[in-house]
Amino acid sequence: VTQGLSAGRVQSVATRLIVERERERIAFVEVAYWDLEGIFDPGSFDARLVALEGRRVARGSDFGADGKAKSKDLAHLDEESARGLLERLQGATFTVRSKDEKPYTRKPTAPFRTATLQQEASRKLRYTSQTTMRVAQRLYENGYITYMRTDSTSLSQAAVAAARKQVTELYGADYLPPKPRSWDRKVKNAQEAHEAIRPAGDFFRTPNEVRDELNRDELALYELIWKRTISSQMADARGETVSLRLAAASTSGEDVEFGASGTVITFPGFLAAYEVGKDEDGDEDQRPLPNLDEGQAVETKELTAQGHSTSPPPRYTEATLVRALEERGIGRPSTYAAIIGTVMDRGYAVKRGTALVPSFLAFSVTELLEKHFGRLVDYEFTARMEDDLDRIAAGDEGRVKWLRRFYFGDGEPDEAGLKALVGALSEIDARAVNTFPIPGAEDIVLRVGRYGPYVERGEERASVPPDLAPDELTLEKATELLAQPSGDRELGVHPETGRQVTARTGRFGPYVTEVLPEDDKGKPKTASLFKSMSLDTVTLEDAVKLLSLPRTLGPDPSDGEDVVALNGRFGPYIKKGTETRSLESEEQLFTITLEQALALLARPKERRPRAAASGPLRELGVDPITEKKIVVRKGRFGPYVTDGETNASLRAGDEVESLTHERAIELLADRRARGPAKPGRKRTRA
């Protein structure tokens, strides 16, 4: 695909999961559907149209990814039919057709293991998996929690006794179940050498008792672990769920039925201490409904027609990706944070909010592995390998024998070894692996090239913006990209190298570059345009001079060390060893002489005046940890978010305009978890 990439037993499977979800989003067909919603008295409760003439009214879950209804016996309303029904229901009398009451019971969840801690910290604290493990490591090393890399949900007898004692002290005896709770492990490939993650010691310290000893992120994670541990030994939450069906007849005689449901918690139980976060909004509606009897009339306060559309499957977040890997028995708790970090570091995915968005590069890598190394990224094969490694670690299988079988195969056609798989690398069609169709386009394709993704139609090409997600590259978008001016200008042939020189617009501004032949795997020489130059007027002569930088002025007669003129991030300068001096203009790079440079180096270095602080680019809300306002600012090294105490640079895929409050919280938490920056090493002259 390209140089500098990697594949791995779990890393590649994780990337494949992210890519497959994006493929589902690309293939998804959106469907519009309508229904009616009403507000009724007494109690001003909401109800929604659920049936029309005995047929259930279609909801989003009734349609497949292909846009087709899963059942034929549905009433699929469009806007016209919904608004027509609304008119025919004006003045209709609604009565309670049925009332269903059921007891409600909800049990607490098990204490944390590594994977569930990462998932819950992602949902509730907006921590990345790596941030969670860094903070947990510090809590463990300083004696606040037990070991944080574990598959176990069990607690020691001392821990159970400590939790039950604290429940009684803080909430009362009513909140304590008669017997201690025990938790069974239900995930494949469990390794239970350690107990669940819990507060350390035989007596648990409350968050208030350690508040002055921990920083904000440590305290937030400790409180999460403490609450989860305590709640796991508390009584069930109890209540009552009520479902109502309201009936009416339209002016045309149509039988309509509205539905409403609600749950009333009569005893909170463990919910008094802790409630599990959710990846998506559930259907459970915890709201009280009025006490109504069957046959009782209700007053219609408002009826409205509401339009909806089905949504594609959500992208993975770190929490849901960890859960997906764990459910398949792939990877280990101690590796999930590192795996997700590697996937992002390799450029296979970026964060958009909390969602993991795959890059087109990830599509190419996954395509290559699926077509030519399919067995190595097969989910079941990877899970079986976990079992094999466990048996080898336990001494139940010989490692040499297993490695021999893995490399040479065992003779079965479907069990080819690694040697056979890598033996045909020369037969791989790199162009085919890096080419993808665009839905609905017959003559336009997407290709992933050396310089990034681009769309192609015949001889026409156009680069794909780096912030465009794969599911957003539609036929209309591809056509729009091809219709835009490319921005590339061919300036001519370099007189020394014989290569074509082109002026282009890149991510960091306009630049000139040499165009290498297709079979040349080297890196082309590039140079940014001076501020006084423009893409429209730069000449071949200008480009050749720019590509000649950095320019060696000659050796210093006193010690023979070369003096060099070059353009840097903060402007033009000269350099000799570790000594640097700024130049007044970029044009001086071509005119300054060795004598002038030596005279400049002989002067004391002048400190650059600090620019006045600019106002924030955006305001994003309040950080839940520090309770201070988060803003986006423009910094020396690019945009960053800050709460006034911690600064965190935006990363690949983060854009100032689209940055969300949740993503900003995550960036700040990750930066705080890494601790203060280490001071640079002082260089000493020989």
Active site residues: 147
- Are 262 and 289 within 8 A, CB to CB? yes
CA distance 49 to 85: 11
- Are 98 and 51 within 8 A, CB to CB? no
- Are 246 and 97 within 8 A, CB to CB? yes
CA distance 509 to 47: 55
- Relative to beta strand 551-555, strand 562-568 is antiparallel
Q: Which two tokens stand for residue 406?
A: 């893995």
Q: Among residues 1, 2, 3, 7, which one has the least CA distance to residue 374? A: 7
CA distance 631 to 618: 6
- Are 134 and 674 within 8 A, CB to CB? yes
Facing residues of 47 across strands?
Answer: 38
- Are 605 and 592 within 8 A, CB to CB? no
Facing residues of 572 across strands?
Answer: 567
CA distances from 580 to 86, 155, 545, 607 (A): 76, 61, 22, 12
Q: Among residues 403, 415, 447, 349, which one has the least CA distance to residue 651? A: 349
Facing residues of 500 across strands?
Answer: 493, 515
What three-state secondary structure class fits 282? coil
CA distance 52 to 364: 48
Q: Among residues 451, 547, 454, 458, which one has the least CA distance to residue 494? A: 547
For residue 180, count CB atoms less than 10 angstroms from its CB and return exposed for 0-12, middle for 13-18, buried for 19 or more: middle
Q: Among residues 379, 365, 356, which one has the least CA distance to residue 471? A: 356
DSSP annotation of 79 reads H
- Are 270 and 231 within 8 A, CB to CB? yes
- Are 196 and 113 within 8 A, CB to CB? yes
Q: Among residues 366, 373, 517, 518, which one has the least CA distance to residue 433? A: 366
